[in-house]
Structure formats: C-alpha cells, structure tokens
Amino acid sequence: MLKTFSVTNIGRRRKLNQDYVYTSEQPVGPLPNLFIVADGMGGHNAGDYASKLAVNTMVEKIGCSVESEPENILVGAIDDANTAVRKSAETAPELEGMGTTVVAAVCAGDRLYVANVGDSRLYVVSGHEIRQITRDHSWVEEMVRRGGLGREEARNHPDKNIITRAVGAENEVKADFFSVKLEEGDLILMCTDGLTNMLEDEEIRMILDGARDIVEKAEELVRKANENGGRDNISVILIEPLG
C-alpha cells in the first residue's frame, strides 16, 4: 500500500509548463503501480508535446506488456517512447529537435525499481539522509565523474542544463536502471531540475523532515523553489510506502 501526492508548477519565469507527471497507485499492465516524471525541451510548445507523448506512450506500452521483469518493462517502454517522439518530430517543422527527460519508478513490496534518461531525479529520503538514486545524464555530471569539476562548481556552472541523453534526441536511447531495497520509513521523491536547481539536497531533506504530511511536504518544496527564483517548471512526486 502506498500514500502518494504529485504537483506540477509553471514556476516564475516560464510561459509554458513543459513538465508532465503521471501517477497510478493501481496496477498498470504487469506492474503493481507506476510513477513517471518528464521534463520536455524544444521550441514553442514542442517540449510540452514531447513530455506528454513520451509519458502516454510509456503508459500505453506498459499497459499491454507481456514482460515480467520490471527492468525489461520500464526500459522497453522508454525505448518505445523514444521511437514515438522521434517519429512525431518528423511530422512538423516546429517539432523538430524536441525531446524529454524521463524518470519512472515502481514500488513492489520492499523493492523500488527505477529507470531514467536525462537529469530529472529520484531520491530516497530516510531520516537524516537523502540519497540520489538516479545519475544525471548531463555535461557537468560527466565532468564531475571525470574529476574535471567539483560538485559545488558544477552546481553553479553556466552549462549545467546541457544534458547528454534525452528521449527523442537520437535513434536509440540508453536508460539507466536501478533496483533499491526500501526500509521502513523511507520516502521517495521524484522531481524535475526545476526543483533541484533551486534547492540543495540538504534543503530538500530539511523541508521533507519539517512538514506535517505528504501534501504539505510537496507543496512546501514547490513554494521554496519558487521563492528561490522559480527559474523553471517544478514537478514533484512523493511516495510513502506504507508496509
């Protein structure tokens, strides 16, 4: 059993919300539940279209999947979404070059299964610890891994929004997959970079620790991100496994 809450907000600088969020506490195809966050990119309304198309394609494909392994289901659905976005981008000049990040998650008993492309994130928060499970597919993250940039320097780097993988960017996309054991009291946070570019991880943890319930936690994250500048769309899914 799960308790969940999601919110998406346009932020303070953008004229359009290009994020798209999907949540289902009920089974989707062979999966017991499904949660997806996508952050679209592209001119005009192309990013908005890409994120929605990718998520809806994933939900449709998972709904009729005959696979049994979460990795095959999630990664296969991301592949299908990539194909759909690529094909759609060929139909109209204004959609050319569109793409989207994706982070998708499934809770099955005490296991959490996660797949991601791009720099939207999933964290597991437990007490005084916040752990980023996903790894950003971004230029600055690659530089940090190679030792060319420090973590703090990367956070404020002018090129921090350049991503190295996106759904729709290439003919083939490689999603990362993670399997995590959940402990009692863990809280799962999925979000776009509109949150993480405005708040440090420790700020996020303190907000989650201080708010009363899951709704207040999510709304306070969005409020604080906007208070800090709200330079991008902000999307949040919070998931509390209830044993």
Q: What is the predicted pLDDT for the residue at 132?
A: 97
Amino acid at 84: A
Question: Residue 79 has which token pair?
Answer: 């592949």
Q: What is the predicted pLDDT for the residue at 147?
A: 75
Per-residue pLDDT tens for 19-37? 999 999 999 999 999 999 9
Per-residue pLDDT tens for 60-100? 999 999 999 999 999 999 999 999 999 999 999 999 999 99
pLDDT of residue 11 exceeding 90: yes
Separation between Cα atoms, residue 18 and residue 235, nearest integer Å: 10
**19-24 and 2-9 beta bridge pairing:** unpaired
pLDDT of residue 158 exceeding 80: no
Separation between Cα atoms, residue 104 and residue 171, nearest integer Å: 20
Question: Residue 141 has which token pair?
Answer: 């993250």
- Of residues 159 and 206, more confidence is placed in 206
- What is the pTM (predicted TM-score) of this model? 0.95
Lowest average pLDDT, out of 73-82, 132-141, 148-157, 180-189, goes to 148-157
3-state SS of the chain is: CEEEEEEEECCCCCCCCCEEEEEECCCECCECCEEEEEEEECCCCHHHHHHHHHHHHHHHHHHCCCCCCHHHHHHHHHHHHHHHHHHHHCCCHHHCCCEEEEEEEEEECCEEEEEEECCCEEEEEECCEEEECCCCCEHHHHHHHHCCCCHHHHHCCCCCCCECCCECCCCCCCCEEEEEECCCCCEEEEECHHHHCCCCHHHHHHHHHHCCCHHHHHHHHHHHHHHCCCCCCEEEEEEEECC
Question: Residue 116 has which token pair?
Answer: 């991601």
- Structure-token match 């943890």, residue found: 205
Lowest average pLDDT, out of 22-26, 32-36, 110-114, 134-138, goes to 134-138
pLDDT of residue 165 exceeding 80: yes
What order of strands is seen across the sheet that includes strand 111-117? 19-24, 34-41, 99-108, 111-117, 176-181
pLDDT-above-90 percentage for the chain: 85
pLDDT of residue 124 exceeding 90: yes
Task: Give the mean pLDDT of the chain.
Answer: 93
Q: What is the predicted pLDDT for the residue at 154?
A: 65
Per-residue pLDDT tens for 170-188? 999 999 999 999 999 999 9
Per-residue pLDDT tens for 207-226? 999 998 999 999 999 999 99
Model confidence at 243, in pLDDT bands (50, 70, 90)?
Answer: low
pLDDT of residue 234 exceeding 80: yes
19: Cβ–Cβ under 8 A, 6 or more apart, which residues? 8, 37, 38, 39, 40, 51, 192, 194, 233, 234, 235
